[in-house]
Every structure is written in structure tokens, then in C-alpha cells.
Amino acid sequence: MLILFAAARLRRKPAALTLEDLDRDLVLAFLDELEEKRNNSVATRNARLAAIRSFFHHVAAADPASFGVAQRVVTIPIKRAHIEVTHHLTSAEVDALIAAPDPKTPRGRRDRAFLLFLARTGARVSEATGVNANDLQLERPHPQVLLRGKGRRDRVVPIPKDLARALTTLLSERGIAHHEPRPIFAGARNERLTRFGATHIVRRAAAEAVTIRPALADKPISPHISGTPWP
């Protein structure tokens, strides 16, 4: 991307560029364009800069004559991102979200179980949608679930009684035995629930719950939002 940017800016073919063309000012202009024209986030801008720095570290080591050019580029600082205020839900707001789906329909019962799962386990969306029946241990006295995190960071999380009951009912309705490697939460076509589907469940519940808890209208509701507390 940097090479193509430099070629367009200097009106040369990429093969005609020299290392000196890729100076600090050009790299800074490239980073500005990422944000202003490509609408990249600060995090993405910094990731691009990290790659460029890595390239110029290699240049400095391989070609000592280019050390000056490389040094000016690798000293470009990363840009600090604005940290947004984290929004929290009250216990009553969490309960309103969980209670929003219609318990008289299969979809409503699935949605309730999924919302309850997020609330009680603190699982990430990918962890919740990735859970299979054989990851559950629902028998007393210590019900638990194996959550498979990123980078093989698996962890076992205890399951409270209300969630254990909801999951038992859900598995029974879908005809799934506890030992089967089948997804707990599935979509309309019985395939594993996607991230988009999970987000839709939460937003649908929020649209219903806001009639009971109007304060929810002023909060960005997503599967990632934290509660205070999520009992």
C-alpha cells in the first residue's frame, strides 16, 4: 500500500522508486490518508505503521548507508487512540433483556437461553456460539461449561442453576444428547449461530426491553456490553 501510494504521489512507476523516496514526510502523508480518505481507525493506522517500522528496521540492518532514512521513519510515534467510556447495564436492565424474548416460541426460548448464557458466564460471542453439547457438564453438584477462547485459551466456567435449566430444556427440545459435538445455539436452518445472528438476538431483545427499561434507549447494546453486575 505504501509503495502504491508513493508511486501515485510522485508520479512514478513502483519499480522506479528509490528508498530515499520513502522518507518520513511521505510515510506521514500515507498514514494521514489511511485515516482521512480510507477511514481507517487509529488502531489500523498504528498496525500499518508497525509494519512499515519493521521494514525499515530490516533496511537499516541490511544497508547501513540507508540508516539515516530508516532512522527517521522508525522514530515516527504511534498515535494515541481515544478511549471511549465503557457502558454498563444495571442488574435490572440485564434481567429485562433476558426476559424480553417470547418463552412460548422455540426462537424465544433459544434467545433467552443465549442471553442468559452471555450474562451468567461472561463468555465472548465467539465462545458462546462455539459451545457444543459435549462442552457442557450439567449434572449436579457442579454444572460447568468449557469455553474455547482465542489462542487455545480454554477455561472452565461454572453454570448457575437457572442457566443449567435453560440449557437442559434447549438441548431436549433440539433432541441433542449431552455427549454430542453439536452446537447448542443454532439458527433457523439448524446451523451454528453466527456472530451476526448473536448480535441480532441482543438487538431484538433490547428493542423489546426498552419499553420496560427506557434507560436502555440511551445505551449502545451489543453482545459485548458488560453488566453491573451480571449475576
pLDDT of residue 144: 93
Single-letter residue type at 98:
I
Handedness of CA 97, 101, 102, 108 (dihedral sign): negative
User: Which residues in the chain land under pLDDT 50?
Assistant: 226-231
CA distance 34 to 44: 8
Task: Please check whether the domain covering 88-228 is classified as CATH 1.10.443.10.
Answer: yes
- Domain range annotation of the chain: 2-74, 88-228
Q: What angle do CA 184, 187, 192 make, to 5 degrees?
A: 50
Q: DSSP readout, 133-151?
A: GGGEE-SSS--EEEEE-GG
Q: Enter the pTM of the model.
A: 0.59
Query: What confidence tens digit (pLDDT) does each residue in 127-178 have?
Result: 999 999 999 988 877 889 999 877 667 889 999 999 999 999 999 999 988 8
Query: What confidence tens digit (pLDDT) does each residue in 72-82 have?
Result: 999 999 888 65
